[in-house]
Amino acid sequence: MRISVIGCGYLGAVHASAMAELGHDVVGIDVDERKITDLRSGRAPFFEPGLHDILTSATASGRLRFSTDIAEAADAEIHFIAVGTPQSADTYAADLRFVDAAFEGLLPHLADGALIVGKSTVPVGTAERLAARLAEAAPHAHLAWNPEFLREGFAVQDTIAPDRLVYGVADDRAAAQLDQVYRAAIEAGTPRIVTDYATAELVKVAANAFLATKISFINAMAEIAEATGADVTQLADAIGHDARIGRRFLNAGVGFGGGCLPKDIRAFSARAEELGRGESVAFLKEVDAINLRRRRRVVDLAVESFGGSVVGKRVAVLGVTFKPDSDDVRDSPALDVAVHFKGLGADVIATDPEGIANARARHPQLAYTEDTDEALRGADLVVLVTEWREYRNLDPVEVGRLVANRFVIDGRNVLDPAAWRAAGWEYRGLGRP
């Protein structure tokens, strides 16, 4: 099929490349010229495992091209909107400016029977509003909402083989067109839920709200564990054996960040309040508060251990991205911890395999190095805040030879406390004795 993807960020660049990989003829559109120049030359504008391969094979095959001119989308039968929906600074509601601009930009270029498909995460009610506008401005086209559930770090495989497909549609024709787009996944047995706009929009925010709640639940248990000497990691293993609970997303630590979970739960709360149902999701404010407290806890542990102050202490911060296998530092707990240490007068040096350029752009006041050993050399404290494989696999004996003081705070509970203590380290985890 002929497809356009409007917005080529973390979601759109992967979606465009994956659709071309599946055999569709795709044009990716973005207002950011630098991104489009990169994509045109087969360079992924961000780090995502597997993206480079499908991007280069699809551009070489001629099935994938990129442009800053939305008129180039005019040929497409299906237009995916994948632009950002960031948090508004004042209300925390989703800022729909980019979605509205992309939608309005498409209106003059819609072929007969064209389908606009929203992928961006939006407040419930957005699709209905856009469908009403479409009926008036371009009645020969129609609209569907098809939320995206990919995870950064696994974005390519999640796009090609998703857990499920959700179509919010107003007619059967839209569902049939989407079936053609996703034929490969459907033939492979991917479950598909065809529903109305409101349900589709809500499925997306409900899924992210549930995941955030699960993480904050285990982090709340970590707080109780800290008050009692219990071990939250064993607790998670034990409750996780219950298939009704499940072990995934029960890793306690510095909590969730990124361009989605934090902003999505806040936008959901804001939308529920607009609907007069704020109390139904009031717990999400607690989920957010627990999450933010855990970032602070790492710093408090250090201050406590150093007898009240970290001024002048050399702190090696391992990780700046919000999760491993991504270069994304949006609302990153790791970066927040680094900034907080710096604010308290510590001599911070942060390292990360992929995230330094993005971190430096946001927080130029921090010192960075790409060399893990350089970060560790002379440290009074090592803080692991993003569980990249290379940090999980650090050898406590070797690291012990580099640092000035053997003190580690494991903000992701991924190190083996016994091995680190045996190598002479003071080990502190979150919610671990």
Ligand X SMILES: O=C(O)[C@H]1O[C@H](OP(=O)(O)OP(=O)(O)OC[C@H]2O[C@@H](n3ccc(=O)[nH]c3=O)[C@H](O)[C@@H]2O)[C@H](O)[C@@H](O)[C@@H]1O
| C-alpha torsion sign, points 79, 84, 88, 94 | positive
Is the distance from CB of 77 to CB of 43 less than 8 angstroms?
no
Q: Which of 99, 260, 265, 415 is catalytic?
A: 260
What's the alpha-carbon Rg for the chain, to the nearest Å?
A: 23
- Residue 12 as a binder of ligand NAI (CB under 6 A): the answer is yes
Collapse the DSSP code of 187 into the 3-class scheme (helix H, G, I; strand E, B; otherwise coil) and give the result.
Answer: helix
136: tokens are 């008036």
Backbone angles phi, psi at 62, to 5 degrees: 85, 0
Angstrom distance (rounded) from CA 355 to CA 54: 22
Among 323, 330, 428, 432, binds ligand X (CB under 6 A): 323
250 binds, among ligand NAI, ligand X, none (CB under 5 to 8 A by kind): ligand X
Q: Does 73 bind ligand NAI (CB under 6 A)?
A: no
150 is in an annotated binding site: yes
Among 21, 25, 30, 327, contact with ligand NAI (rule: CB under 6 A) = 30
Is residue 152 part of an annotated ligand binding site? yes
Q: Which of 126, 213, 251, 413 binds ligand X (CB under 6 A)?
A: 251
Residue 56, annotated as binding a ligand: no
Q: At what angle do helices 283-305 and 261-274 cross, to 10 degrees?
A: 140
Residue 322, binding choice from ligand NAI, ligand X, none, Cβ under 5 to 8 Å by partner class: ligand X
Count of residues near ligand X by CB under 6 A:
21
C-alpha distances (whole Å) from 301 to each of 111, 189, 410 are: 60, 48, 11
Interface pattern 207-246 for ligand NAI (x via CB under 6 A): ----------------------------------------
Least Å distance, CB 187 to ligand NAI, is 24
Residue partners of 264: CB distance under 8 A and separation at least 6: 121, 204, 205, 208, 209, 212
36-43 contacts: CB < 8 A, separation 24 or more?
A: 36/8, 36/66, 36/67, 36/68, 39/8, 39/13, 39/66, 40/65, 40/66
101: closest CA among 75, 128, 130? 130
Question: Is 135 annotated as ligand-binding?
Answer: no
Has 8 been annotated as catalytic?
Answer: no
215 binds, among ligand X, ligand NAI, none (CB under 5 to 8 A by kind): ligand X
Widest Cα–Cα separation across the chain: 72
What's the token pair of residue 413?
Answer: 């509970």
Angle (nearest 5°) at CA 400 between 394 and 406:
110
- 10 Å CB burial of residue 228 (0-12, 13-18, 19+) is exposed
Q: Does 102 participate in binding ligand NAI (rule CB under 6 A)?
A: yes
For ligand X, the binding residues in 109-128 under the rule CB under 6 A are 121
User: Nearer to ligand X by C-beta: 110 or 267?
Assistant: 267
Residues 271-300 that bind ligand X (CB under 6 A): none
Q: Residue by residue, what is the 3-state secondary structure of 362-384?
A: HCCCCEEECCHHHHHCCCCEEEE
Query: At which residue do the structure tokens 């702190």 appear?
Result: 315
**Per CB under 6 A, does 253 bind ligand X?**
yes
Instruction: Rank residues 211 and 376 by Cβ distance to ligand X and give the closer one.
Output: 211
Judged by beta carbon, residue 216 or residue 351, the one nearer ligand X is 216
2 contacts ligand X (rule: CB under 6 A): no
Residue given tokens 């959700």 in the structure block: 166
Which of ligand X, ligand NAI, none does residue 35 bind (CB under 5 to 8 Å by kind)? Answer: ligand NAI
Applying CB under 6 A, which part among 15-23, 142-150, 183-191, 272-280 lies near ligand X?
142-150
Between residues 6 and 232, which has the closer beta carbon with respect to ligand NAI? 6
Question: Among candidates 254, 215, 292, which has minimal Cα distance to 428?
Answer: 254
In the complex, the smallest distance separating the C-beta of residue 326 from ligand X, rounded to whole angstroms, is 7
| Among 255, 396, 411, 417, contact with ligand X (rule: CB under 6 A) | 255
391: contact with ligand X by CB under 6 A: no
The answer to whether residue 124 forms part of the interface with ligand NAI (CB under 6 A) is no
Which residue ranges make up the annotated binding site for substrate? 149-152, 204, 249-253, 257, 323
Q: Could you list the active site residues? A: 260
